Structures are given as structure tokens and as C-alpha cells.
Amino acid sequence: MNAGWRNPGKGHPVTRRNLVAAACAMALAPAVSERHPARRTPVIDVTDLYHPPQDPGDNLDLIAAYALPEIDLRAVVLDIHEPYRRPGDPAQHPAYRDPLGPRDPGFITVEQLNYVFDRNVPAGCAPFRRMRSLTDTMEDAPRFQQRGVELMLKVLAESRERVEIVSFGSARPIAVACNRRPNLMRRKVARVHLCAGSAPAGYLEWNVMLDPLAMVRVLQADVPVAVYPCATDKGPFDYGPNNTFWLLSDLGFVRRMDPRLQNYVAYAFERMQRPDSFGYLDGPPDAQALDRVCGRPHNVWETCVWMEVARRALVRRPDGAYRIIPRNAIRPGDVVMPNELRPVTIEAEITGQFTATPTRGRTNRRLYYRGDARANETALREAMPELYAGFRCARS
């Protein structure tokens, strides 16, 4: 995912009596349960998650996959890239030089969240190298690097319902899975939520740069795809109606999170390599580390994806407060902020860049739309911290 250091690189009539009755019923009814939703959405998370982090925002975003009650996280596939495992590797793209490292696949991060949420979500790596062609199945990659694609296909094959796949990286594991088992992908993938690229076209965004052929393969795949551009044609920190970037002015809200999640965030943002990666989470909040972390601004790209997959809405309450809530909890008087997937056709170039064109015709392609980007940012600066402050770990 994008890192902050990166250089751009019905039925009843409406009457006053009915309205009063409905208002009384809403006032007396229990709040909609966010811990026991009627239906949980099965999800596979494909993420370029490292330990120590390349972008600690990936660690922060992964909390939502575990904590949102609507999400049934089935697997985490680690989308790792060989040139970015070591600082200054000559194979790194010249526009995206990374001076930090070394780092390896983020298994520790996944197991930390399994630990604090009392879960057993499996994780596996996909191939570390780029695809060599659009039809590459990458079956000659080392066995350790096969686990991620195999895990994805296993989850899909065993699922009784279609599975949402979210992608915060190159999307190479998804492309390879499409090449190996296209019929399975067609039958079992509800939608690929592809967080990558730029809209309008014209900027080589980080995730596209990592593996252009993988991006093209997914954009051409016979599965539903929604694209959430990480950049505009001016770069990843620009504001447009279709890109996902917004800036959180500081991380002070972390102090209001569950104590173990406070330490989890500190562990990630401080890029710790302590051997007690579980025991550290059980201690009291690390005041010194949090002092350093909480004053930092934070670049965000993924929030809208998790809202969509969890079927949540960003709303402004009648009192002016912004919240991220279940769609079935929207009340009269709430103003729903745009967080939409609009129908488009997509033309992909071999460079991985693409052009999305609105259409009224039949299509299984969608493009993210948020309307006024600054209004979106204002809302999320309040709503996202409130959401995270309400997440609770399992009790040990």
C-alpha cells in the first residue's frame, strides 16, 4: 500500500401518526448490534504487509479486517516484492527508492492480531517476483511462495458463498490465481476490490509499478472488479473525486483504543523487532512509544474499501457528528456522504495504467466515487478514529 515517505513516485402510507409511532419505536428499540450482524461477509485480504513494516498504515488498516463484526476474514495473502525486502536494492524502481529495511513477510503482524482477537486466520506468501507474462501461473516459484495463492484457491473452493477479495498491493496473487483456476475464480469471487492506480490516468502509482502485468491481468479477468484509485494524475497525495487518499492530522485517537491495540500500533509505527511480539501487547500501554506515535500525521488510502466490504456508510448525524455505521442503522436525519461504486468500462494498457469510462450499459466493472474529497476527509478525520476507538480485543 502507499507509504507516507514515498515520493511520487414498503407498504404503509406516510402519516403523522405513523411517523410519531416510528420515532417512538426507534427511541425504545435496542441499538443495532454491531457485534452480531445478520450476515458476515467472507473476505480474503491480499496485502503487501511486511515486518518490520514498510508502511505501518497497512498494520493499522488490518485491524479493521479483524474488528469489524460484518467481516469474516478467511485468509491473509502476503503480496511481497523481492526488491523491497532490502534497503536500496538496485532492482527498485528509480522513482520509488526505499532507504529502509531489511524486512520480510508480515506473518508476525497477522499472528499478533490472531492473538489479541482470539482468531486463527491463516496467512501465506505469494511469489516475490514479477509475472513474466499475462498468462504466467508462477508454478516454478519456491514452495514457500506458493502458499498464498494455494490458500486463496482453497478458501474459494471450500466456501459455500461468494467471497470478496480486497487487494492492497500489486494484486499478483489474484492474477496468478486467475491463471491457475479461472473457472473457480469466476464462480466464487463476489468482487475484487482493487486499491491501485490513478484516476484520471497518467501517473504511475506504487501498486501498479510493483507488477504492471498483474494489474492488467486482474483488470481483464472474468470476475467483477471495483477499482479504488490511490492517486490522481498528479500523484498519491492529491485530492480528487475518485481517488481514496486522505490525511489524518495526527494519531492521537490511538490512546482511546483497546490497550492491547495501543501497543500493537506502537509496535508497528516504531518498527519494533522485540522478540516478545505477543507479550508486549499484553503489557500496559507503552507511554513513551505512544508519545512518539500519536503526534504523527498519517496518510490513509484503505478506509473506503473496508466501508464498502462491511456494507457501512459514512454519515453526518443531525448534531453534526460524523460516524461510520452499518447501513441498516441509518436514521432519519442522517446525511449519507458519498462512498459509491459507479459502473464503468475499463481499458488497461500493458504498463498497468488504465482508463475508466462511465457507462449505462451492462458491466461488472466499478470505479470508486467520493464526491467532494475535502468534505470526505473532514468526515473521515472524525469518523474513522471513533470507529477504531470502539474496537475491542478478545479478553485473555
DSSP letter string over 18-49?
Answer: HHHHHHHHHHHSPPPPSSS-S-PEEEEEEE--
Alpha-carbon span 2 to 56, nearest angstrom:
10
Query: Is residue 10 one of the residues assigned to a domain?
Result: no
Query: Is residue 169 one of the residues assigned to a domain?
Result: yes
Query: Is residue 1 one of the residues assigned to a domain?
Result: no
Mean pLDDT for the stretch of residues 102-128: 98
Query: Is residue 158 one of the residues assigned to a domain?
Result: yes
User: Is 90 exceeded by the pLDDT of residue 37?
Assistant: no
Alpha-carbon span 149 to 35, nearest angstrom:
31
Alpha-carbon span 170 to 80, nearest angstrom:
9
Residue carrying the nine cell digits 464498502: 308
Of the candidates 39, 58, 150, 167, the one whose C-alpha atom is nearest the C-alpha of residue 113 is 58
C-alpha cell at 391: 474496537
pLDDT of residue 395: 80
Query: Is residue 332 one of the residues assigned to a domain?
Result: no
User: Is 90 exceeded by the pLDDT of residue 33?
Assistant: no
Backbone angles phi, psi at 315, to 5 degrees: -130, 155
Looking at the chain, the whole-number percentage of residues with pLDDT higher than 90 is: 90
pLDDT of residue 143: 98
Dump pLDDT digits (tens) for 204-262. 999 999 999 999 999 999 999 999 999 999 999 999 999 999 999 999 999 999 999 99
pLDDT category of residue 136 using cuts at 50, 70 and 90: very high
pLDDT of residue 273: 95
Query: Is residue 367 one of the residues assigned to a domain?
Result: yes
Mean pLDDT for the stretch of residues 332-358: 97
Please provide the size of the chain in residues.
396
Q: Dihedral through CA 252, CA 257, CA 263, CA 267, nearest 10?
A: -60
Parent domain of 215: 41-245+259-312+339-372
User: Is 70 exceeded by the pLDDT of residue 8?
Assistant: no
pLDDT of residue 39: 84
190-229 in b/e burial notation, b at 16+ Cβ within 10 A? bbbbbbbbbbebebbbbbbbbbbbbbbbbbebebbbbbbb
Alpha-carbon span 246 to 230, nearest angstrom:
10
Mean pLDDT for the stretch of residues 100-126: 98
Mean pLDDT for the stretch of residues 344-362: 97
Q: Could you tell me the CATH number of the domain that includes residue 209?
A: 3.90.245.10
What letter would DSSP give residue 232?
B
Mean pLDDT for the stretch of residues 312-318: 98
Query: Is residue 32 one of the residues assigned to a domain?
Result: no
Query: Is residue 13 one of the residues assigned to a domain?
Result: no
User: Is 90 exceeded by the pLDDT of residue 34?
Assistant: no
Dump pLDDT digits (tens) for 166-177. 999 999 999 999
Coil, helix or strand at residue 264: helix
Query: Into how many domains does the chain fold?
Result: 1
User: Is 90 exceeded by the pLDDT of residue 29?
Assistant: no
What letter would DSSP give residue 231?
B
Alpha-carbon span 138 to 121, nearest angstrom:
25
Omega cis (within 30) before 52? yes
pLDDT category of residue 27 using cuts at 50, 70 and 90: very low
